Amino acid sequence: MSPARQLEADSLTEIEQDALAEIANMGVSRAANNLRQMVGEQVLLSVPSVKIVTREKASKLVERNNASKLVAVQQSFAGPFSGRALLIFPEAQSLELVRSIVGDQHSLEDVIDLEQEALAETGNIILNGCLATIANVLHRTMRMSLPSIVRGDGATLFEIEGPDSGGQFVLFLYIDFNIKKRDVHGFIALLMDLPSIAALKEIVNDFISAIEKQPSGHVG
């Protein structure tokens, strides 16, 4: 990584961090609302966190408080900035999540049969809700890939096994969610690489200056 890139990563100002967290919050709130509709139960969210960290650090953050066996639905996005969005939860809870979506009337065999399928579609609905909201807020368009499912530890999910990629800096946005009545909790994470961060910074600054021009200054 060039020193210039490094500097860029470090130079996210406080207002930029705030704006990003707020934009992420809008996206994730939409995602949580989608999840709530799908499971028919309340979904609790943590305060979103925005960090510039190495991929390795990001992978450790998702393992925190979690079993190291994780399952994730991931979707790549591309546009003025690009990266990956992941819906992550402990693998042991994936059947419970699927059951909460397809309904308790299905047998365990049915649920196991539907697992991959249901995870992919759930991820698709949740992550699309999040990314589309962010795109709309920023007045930009993003293309999203089909969802795919990854199983493994944090390192597998964030692809840090490649040469040097573990030390690569990424913008890491994450939020915890918790389905109140079920034993299901997880993360929604957005991972962006550094060239994207530069583009994102510019867009976020457009967003900030548009807000400053509004008389009420209301964001959320």
Describe the chain by its helix, strand, coil percentages, rounded to 5: 50, 25, 25
Q: Which amino acid is at 210?
A: A
Q: Is 93 in the site for other proteins (CB under 8 A)?
A: no
What's the closest the beta carbon of residue 210 comes to other proteins, in angstroms?
Answer: 16
**Exposure of 42 in the CB half-sphere (CA atoms within 13 A):** 4
Q: Rule CB under 8 A: which of 136-175 touch other proteins?
A: 136, 141-142, 144, 146
Q: Is 73 in the site for other proteins (CB under 8 A)?
A: no
Q: What are phi and psi of 69, to 5 degrees?
A: -90, 110
Q: Is 95 in the site for other proteins (CB under 8 A)?
A: no
CA 26 to chain centre: 12
Separation CA 178–CA 176 (nearest Å): 7
Q: Is 111 in the site for other proteins (CB under 8 A)?
A: no
Paired with 49 in beta bridges are 174
Q: Is 203 in the site for other proteins (CB under 8 A)?
A: no
Q: Which part of the chain contacts other proteins (CB under 8 A), choosing from 18-26, 129-137, 148-156, 208-216?
A: 129-137
Closest alpha carbon to 199 in 171, 163, 157, 166: 171
Q: Is 132 in the site for other proteins (CB under 8 A)?
A: yes
What's the closest the beta carbon of residue 38 comes to other proteins, in angstroms?
Answer: 5
Three-state DSSP state, 139: coil
Of 53 and 137, CB closest to other proteins: 137
Separation CA 133–CA 55 (nearest Å): 25
Q: Is 47 in the site for other proteins (CB under 8 A)?
A: no
Q: Is 124 in the site for other proteins (CB under 8 A)?
A: yes
Give the tokens for residue 154. 């944090």
Question: How many residues belong to the site for other proteins (CB under 8 A)?
Answer: 25
Residues that bind other proteins (CB under 8 A): 34, 37-38, 101-102, 114, 117-118, 120-122, 124-126, 128-129, 131-133, 135-136, 141-142, 144, 146
